[in-house]
A = this chain, B = another copy of it.
């Protein structure tokens, strides 16, 4: 039974393993509710002004989430079917992320303090100038279906916005409304501990509420994780406002994987099995799922494909996040499978019962896929779920022709042989071909599993993201800040971050020299 609800505007938690409604969580937010929620968030700005309060708050949010771990994981599993192991790991990651942003706040480099002392000899003369970054204001966060913790109410967008000093209003994903409410309650308990108004985290349900949110005059920026269609509609709304706002959306990605001939010859079974593991992880519901694999034609490639098929045979059917996604997956793979030149050695599609799907893969000649006649264009669109497309190339030129046709991606991967990895054999310009395609380039690894680290970049050319920023890693906070410079300002009037004596001990650049 689909989640149609029993009254208009009712928001239900639904069990994707059965399709049954679990509980009514609330109702869809009216325009009045959205307005009140945004205003409450706006009023909470001052409470986040003190960086020490912000970092303590972020750490307490992590503590509160860990305290509620059992309840949160149970609710998320009941709503998403992602399983306890995965969800416990995701919650651990989410708490690590919150504490990591707390460290970022304490360390202070993200404020980007730059001081230029006066220089009367320059043309034009340089006055005393002191620049740092300040919070933009209320941030709207559109949470993801596939990460009920890490990219949801207390996920990376929210944590980075709090780190930047911005209150947040989250548009909950309809696939996990109970988890969203429980998480919001934990965040608000943490807020109360530090004397921060509960409005610092707003939570609204409903599609229309999401549109209302991005148009609200007091919303200063937005973060989004989801589909190309939904994300682009909100991006367009953000750009069309009387005062446009930054919209940091993560939309869709094929995440191409290029297996060189030498790599396929060296370890076909290992690569085939690794691919099966990566593409079926989380029932193929990762934004970085490898959705297109360039494998050589010929015997080595055949062995790789065979190993892939064998490994997939051992992966059981899985439950997707909701029934609509399951229907889209089943229809999407069927439509792709009947394209000319496409074969399905292991046919993906409906599972043994009405709630599951079975993983599989399609094959197509790379030359067909690279043709500009548009016949295979659908294969170059992301298909959410446990399927990948293996494009077989006859020679490196065919592979390169196909790479040149791809849209932007979050990741691009190459599997190379041992000698190729040494750079002594094959083409050392290998990475130069993948770099234009993606925000993260991997060698002999799989794109699933996005580490939280300072050097991470989770973003890429459109449609992977709608901006040049990242939504994972400590640099994600820069999305919610803007610089301001103070000119000729007496020390007593300056914010402490910019005073000459550096009372807060911040790292800064003074007259071109880095301090601290």
Chain A residues in the interface with B (C-beta under 8 A): 89, 92-93, 96, 107, 114-116, 119, 122-127, 129-131, 134, 136, 235-236, 239-240, 243-244, 246, 408, 416, 421-424, 428, 430-431, 435, 438-445, 449-457, 459, 461-463, 466-468, 470, 475, 481-490, 492-495, 507, 509, 511-512, 514
- What B residues does A435 contact at CB under 8 A? 134, 484
- What B residues does A243 contact at CB under 8 A? 408, 461-463
Residue from B129, B236, B246, B507 in contact with A451 in the complex, judged by beta carbons closer than 8 Å: B129
Could you list 22 A-B pairs, sorted by A, with CB under 8 Å? A89-B123, A89-B124, A114-B455, A114-B475, A116-B451, A122-B451, A124-B452, A125-B449, A136-B468, A243-B463, A421-B490, A421-B493, A423-B490, A439-B484, A439-B485, A440-B484, A441-B484, A441-B487, A443-B488, A457-B485, A468-B482, A475-B483
- What B residues does A428 contact at CB under 8 A? 492-493
- What B residues does A438 contact at CB under 8 A? 484
B125 with A456: CB separation less than 8 A: no
Residue from B93, B122, B453, B507 in contact with A96 in the complex, judged by beta carbons closer than 8 Å: B122
CA distance A362 to B135 in the complex (A): 35
B129 with A455: CB separation less than 8 A: yes
Residue of B nearest to A131 (CB): B455
With A422-B490, A488-B444 in contact, is A467–B115 under 8 Å at CB?
A: no
With A134-B435, A428-B492 in contact, is A485–B440 under 8 Å at CB?
A: yes
- A-B pairs, 3 with minimum CB distance: A423-B492, A239-B239, A116-B455
- What B residues does A454 contact at CB under 8 A? 114, 116, 509, 511-512
CA distance A512 to B473 in the complex (A): 12
With A428-B493, A462-B243, A493-B423 in contact, is A131–B456 under 8 Å at CB?
A: yes
- What B residues does A457 contact at CB under 8 A? 131, 483-485
- What B residues does A449 contact at CB under 8 A? 124-125
Chain B: minimal CB distance from A124 (Å): 5
- What B residues does A96 contact at CB under 8 A? 122-123
- What B residues does A492 contact at CB under 8 A? 421-424, 428
CA distance A116 to B457 in the complex (A): 11
Number of copies: 2
Chain B: minimal CB distance from A460 (Å): 8
- What B residues does A466 contact at CB under 8 A? 244
CA distance A107 to B514 in the complex (A): 12
Residue of B nearest to A431 (CB): B493
A483 with B495: CB separation less than 8 A: no
Chain B: minimal CB distance from A488 (Å): 4
CA distance A454 to B92 in the complex (A): 40
- What B residues does A443 contact at CB under 8 A? 486-490, 493
Residue from B439, B441, B453 in contact with A489 in the complex, judged by beta carbons closer than 8 Å: B441
A453 with B129: CB separation less than 8 A: yes
With A131-B457, A244-B466 in contact, is A451–B126 under 8 Å at CB?
A: yes
A456 with B490: CB separation less than 8 A: no
Additional pairs, 6, CB under 8 Å, beyond known A243-B408, A443-B486, A459-B483 = A114-B475, A125-B451, A129-B456, A236-B240, A244-B466, A441-B489
B124 with A486: CB separation less than 8 A: no
Interface core residue of A408, A423, A470, A486 (most chain B CB under 10 Å) = A486
Chain B: minimal CB distance from A480 (Å): 10
CA distance A136 to B93 in the complex (A): 31
B452 with A93: CB separation less than 8 A: no
- What B residues does A423 contact at CB under 8 A? 490, 492-493
CA distance A456 to B509 in the complex (A): 13
- What B residues does A441 contact at CB under 8 A? 484-487, 489
A127 with B92: CB separation less than 8 A: no
Chain B: minimal CB distance from A95 (Å): 9
CA distance A435 to B438 in the complex (A): 37
Chain B: minimal CB distance from A100 (Å): 10
A124 with B493: CB separation less than 8 A: no
Chain B: minimal CB distance from A139 (Å): 13
A487 with B129: CB separation less than 8 A: no
A483 with B462: CB separation less than 8 A: no
Chain B: minimal CB distance from A35 (Å): 18
CA distance A493 to B430 in the complex (A): 8
Chain B: minimal CB distance from A199 (Å): 19
- What B residues does A489 contact at CB under 8 A? 431, 441-443
CA distance A125 to B442 in the complex (A): 15
Residue from B115, B130, B462 in contact with A244 in the complex, judged by beta carbons closer than 8 Å: B462
Residue from B430, B442, B482 in contact with A487 in the complex, judged by beta carbons closer than 8 Å: B442
Chain B: minimal CB distance from A435 (Å): 6
